[in-house]
């Protein structure tokens, strides 16, 4: 579904990524982990179209999209979340889902939705059905009519369950970058580990847990040695 092939990125004389490969098949969660400064955000930027690689290519649904914009990739089905979200505090949870739906299917309505709220009246039956289905899929029925400003921070396990459900139900592929390595290993079928812009390991969670190069990247050489001896 999504692939990066031999991706390299340089900022001046600094190699932020060097010949990195990654694949995200449909119906799977692939984890991307690494210490701070490993290149995770840079790779995310290349895959989503915010950065152009110095070398390599990005493929989406089998098509080369290396030189296509983030908007073009979004129209092909790619979506990216960011670490810091911007939400409309006067809108309910369900209305946020409606906006996301209309960005893809009724873009011209967004002005009236956000400026004078005329767009919230008499939505098409197809939209109501799809939005209600998404709210149910994400387990948000209990908070659908609550403004976002009144919600507590989501719990890690709740998020994990939502991701599992979306993958199983919708068949999408997810590339997961998260500082909680335990969560990533618990969710992912395959994991790629970066360190100093290079891929140092690719494997199943069990393989990554015992990989000496991964232990060295996170714990230092001494930690890797001690971990192996243990």
Helix (H) or strand (E) holding 223: helix 212-229
Are residues 6 and 77 located together in one domain of the fold?
yes
Are residues 76 and 29 located together in one domain of the fold?
yes
Q: Is residue 10 assigned to a domain?
A: yes
Instruction: Return the pLDDT at 120.
Output: 65
Sheet holding 63-64, edge to edge: 14-24, 2-11, 55-60, 63-64
Q: How far apart are CA 34 and CA 214, in angstroms?
A: 8
Q: Is residue 141 assigned to a domain?
A: yes
Q: pTM of this prediction?
A: 0.74
- Higher per-residue pLDDT: 183 or 148: 183
Percent of the chain with pLDDT over 90: 48
Greatest extent of the chain over all pairs of C-alpha atoms, in Å:
66
Are residues 75 and 125 located together in one domain of the fold?
no
Percent of the chain with pLDDT over 70: 83
Identify the burial level of 221 via C-beta atoms within 10 angstroms of its C-beta, where 0-12 means exposed, 13-18 middle and 19 or more buried: exposed
Q: Which residue has the tokens 């396990």?
A: 157
* Cβ pair 18, 4 in contact under 8 A: no
* Torsion angle in degrees (nearest 10) through CA of 99, 105, 111, 112: -80
Instruction: Return the pLDDT at 47.
Output: 97
Residues 215-224 have pLDDT tens digits of 888 866 544 4
Are residues 6 and 72 located together in one domain of the fold?
yes
Are residues 10 and 69 located together in one domain of the fold?
yes
Are residues 74 and 41 located together in one domain of the fold?
yes
Q: Is residue 45 assigned to a domain?
A: yes
* Cβ pair 68, 123 in contact under 8 A: no
Instruction: Return the pLDDT at 155.
Output: 62
Q: How far apart are CA 119 and CA 63, in angstroms?
A: 35
Are residues 75 and 8 located together in one domain of the fold?
yes
Residues 7-62 have pLDDT tens digits of 999 998 899 999 999 999 999 999 999 998 899 999 999 999 999 999 999 999 99
Are residues 73 and 133 located together in one domain of the fold?
no
The CA R_g of the chain, rounded to the nearest whole Å, is: 20
* 194-209: burial string, b at 16+ Cβ within 10 Å, e else: bbebebbbbeebeebe
* CATH number of the domain to which 23 belongs: 3.40.50.300
Mean pLDDT is lowest, of 135-139, 151-155, 157-161, for 151-155
Last-in-domain residue among 146, 161, 191: 146
Residues 6+ apart with CB under 8 A from 14: none
- Domain count for the chain, please give it: 2
Are residues 9 and 78 located together in one domain of the fold?
yes
Q: Is residue 221 assigned to a domain?
A: yes
Q: Is residue 199 assigned to a domain?
A: yes
Are residues 179 and 216 located together in one domain of the fold?
yes
Tokens of 71: 């908007």
Select from 192, 128, 127, 182 the least CA-distant residue to 156: 182
Last-in-domain residue among 107, 131, 146: 146
Are residues 127 and 177 located together in one domain of the fold?
no
Q: Is residue 154 assigned to a domain?
A: no
Residue span of the structural domain in which 68 resides: 2-84+170-229
Mean pLDDT of 135-148: 80
């Amino acid at each position: 579904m999504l692939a990066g092939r031999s991706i390299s990125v340089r900022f001046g004389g600094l190699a932020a990524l060097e010949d990195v490969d990654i694949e995200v098949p449909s119906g799977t969660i692939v984890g991307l982990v690494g210490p701070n400064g490993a290149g995770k955000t840079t790779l995310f930027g290349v895959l989503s179209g915010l950065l152009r690689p110095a070398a390599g290519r990005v493929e989406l649904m089998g098509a080369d999209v290396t030189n296509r914009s983030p908007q073009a990739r979004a129209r092909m089905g790619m979506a990216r979340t960011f670490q810091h979200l911007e939400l409309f505090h006067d809108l309910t949870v369900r209305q946020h889902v409606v906006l996301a739906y209309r960005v893809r299917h009724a873009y011209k309505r967004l002005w009236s939705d956000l400026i004078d709220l005329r767009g919230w009246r008499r939505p098409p039956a197809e939209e109501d059905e799809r939005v209600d289905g998404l709210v149910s899929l994400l387990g948000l029925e209990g908070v659908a009519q609550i403004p976002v400003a009144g919600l507590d921070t989501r719990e890690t396990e709740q998020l994990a369950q939502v991701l599992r459900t979306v993958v199983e139900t919708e068949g999408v592929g997810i590339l997961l970058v998260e500082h909680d390595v335990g969560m990533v290993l618990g969710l992912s079928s395959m994991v790629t580990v970066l360190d100093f812009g290079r891929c140092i390991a690719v494997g199943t969670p069990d393989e990554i847990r015992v990989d000496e190069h991964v232990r060295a990247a996170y714990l230092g050489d001494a930690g890797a040695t001690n971990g192996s001896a243990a």
